[in-house]
């Protein structure tokens, strides 16, 4: 089994000490840092934007895997690049010109990703698969941590796995929402190469982070 990237979502971290939390998950073995940006409009919750990400940047050298749940996206792309985002993932429903958005993300020096909500069809990514570096399958409806994994998304993961393999390109297939030591192996069997987990990483406090991350990796 190929290595799987673990991308802890700081949505479940202690927001009063985010810098320290990022250093802890870095030391605990995180491969990337998943950063959920929400605008209270595209999803029914609010988090933070580029100024906070910029302040967090010096706390780790691991890639910032930034998941935008905002609309519109385009006016903020340069700000996220300057703040230090490495991967910038957008939802196709966030704007009318997905291909232009992807070009702008690449043009700003970041790796573009596209996220599919549980109710969104795989056909949305087909026209842009040659242009992106990551596909994010949402296995919960976006907006909140701590929700249950939606089993029907396993079929979607398998379908996207086939599409990616046909391109011959090295595209990360990431899954986000409800991942824990029970659901992660099922997503990995279906073909993901990256696991996002919030509550399953941060539960139990800092002493548990390393064990929690290890428990998500294929045994
Ligand atoms: C939800 C976010 C997720 C969230 C996952 O909208 O995109 O990244 O933090 O949280 P868990 O792992 O607790 O389901
Ligand atoms: Zn996310």
Model confidence band, residue 79 (pLDDT cutoffs 50, 70, 90): very high
Closest among 83, 11, 19 to 43, alpha carbons compared = 11
Residue-level pLDDT at 2: 55
Q: Which atom of ligand 1 is nearest to the CA of 143?
A: 6
The tens digit of pLDDT for each residue in 13-72 reads: 999 999 999 999 999 999 999 999 999 999 999 999 999 999 999 999 999 999 999 999
The tens digit of pLDDT for each residue in 137-151 reads: 999 999 999 999 999
pTM: 0.98
Q: Which ligand is nearest to the CA of 144?
A: 1
> What is the sign, positive or negative, of the torsion defined by CA atoms of 29, 154, 179, 116?
positive
Tokens of 169: 């390109």
Tokens of 174: 């990431």
Residue-level pLDDT at 219: 82
Helix (H) or strand (E) holding 90: strand 87-90
> Domains of the chain (ranges plus CATH)?
5-216 (3.20.20.70)
Alpha carbon of 10 to ligand 1 centroid (Å): 9
The span from the first CA to the last CA of the chain, in angstroms, equals 9
Tokens of 109: 């020096």
Instruction: Tell me how far CA of residue 8 lies from CA of 69, 104, 115, 145, 199, in angstroms.
Output: 17, 26, 17, 12, 9
To the query of whether residue 36 is one of the catalytic residues in this protein, the response is yes
Query: What's the rounded Cα separation, in Å, for the pair 166 and 204?
Result: 41
């Amino acid at each position: 089994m190929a290595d799987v990237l673990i991308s802890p979502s700081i949505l479940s971290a202690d927001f009063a000490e985010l810098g320290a939390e990022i250093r802890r998950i870095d030391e605990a073995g995180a491969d990337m840092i998943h950063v959920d940006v929400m605008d209270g409009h595209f999803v029914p919750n609010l988090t933070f934007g580029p100024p906070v990400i910029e302040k967090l940047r010096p706390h780790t050298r691991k890639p910032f895997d930034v998941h935008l749940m905002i609309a519109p996206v385009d006016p903020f792309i340069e700000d996220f690049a300057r703040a230090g985002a490495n991967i910038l993932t957008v939802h196709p429903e966030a704007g009318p010109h997905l291909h232009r958005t992807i070009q702008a993300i690449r043009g700003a020096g970041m790796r573009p990703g596209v996220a599919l909500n549980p109710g969104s069809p795989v056909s949305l990514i087909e026209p842009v698969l040659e242009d992106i570096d990551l596909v994010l399958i949402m296995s919960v409806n976006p907006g909140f941590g701590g929700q249950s994994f939606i089993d029907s998304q396993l079929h979607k993961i398998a379908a996207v796995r086939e599409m990616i393999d046909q391109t011959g390109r090295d595209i990360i297939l990431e899954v986000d929402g409800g991942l824990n030591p029970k659901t992660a192996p099922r997503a990995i069997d279906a073909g993901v190469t990256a696991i996002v987990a919030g509550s399953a990483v941060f539960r139990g406090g800092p002493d548990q982070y390393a064990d929690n991350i290890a428990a998500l990796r294929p045994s």
